[in-house]
Amino acid sequence: MEKEMTGADRRKEILSMIRDTDTPVSGTAIGKKTGVSRQVVVQDIALLRTQGYPIISTARGYLLDEPKQAVRIFKVCHTNEQVEDELTTIVDLGGCVVNVMVNHRVYGKLDAPLNIKSRRDVQNFMDDLKTGKSTPLLNVTSGYHFHKISAESEEVLDEIEEALKKKGYLAELLPYEQ
């Protein structure tokens, strides 16, 4: 029996569907692909919007209002004290920290959307961490984690990669992570 898609998995699929096309995708088509009603799709779209995704509703369906960006995944390793410096380095060079991911040996792949694209976003994120209610996801994997970074060009991503390397944050990908 096929495992039912979780809400988080379904929302990732919805983002993928509307990100990978230049034409609107109808709620009905999304519902058929993900196995839920159109009303559930509407609720998922609302949740994605609260997470910062610029989703536009049209008479023909949903579109993601993002300029086409270069995207790269970076594996990094650093301490809690270096989180702010890492994020600030990325946004100062024109990058957006789309998410954070870890590969946990017990729980598997965990990821969380961040959408950090400015110093203000970095400060808000750091303020949230300082409440003490949570710690960065990197703590469950001894500092190792991944970020999906978007930027206006591959050249900007190259600059970000070089800066992270100079600061000692960039970690080597293992063969199975390629």
Scan for tokens 């050249």, then name that residue. Answer: 155
Q: Helix crossing, 154-166 with 83-92: angle to 10°? A: 150
78 a known binding residue? yes
86 a known binding residue? yes
Q: Which of 139, 170, 7 is nearest to 73 (CA)?
A: 170
61: left (phi over 0), alpha (psi -120 to 50) or beta: left
Give me the torsion for CA of 36, 14, 40, 98, rounded to 10°. Answer: 140
145 a known binding residue? yes
177 a known binding residue? no
Instruction: Name the binding residues.
Output: 78, 86, 145, 147
Q: Which residues are part of a known binding site for Ni(2+)?
A: 78, 86, 145, 147
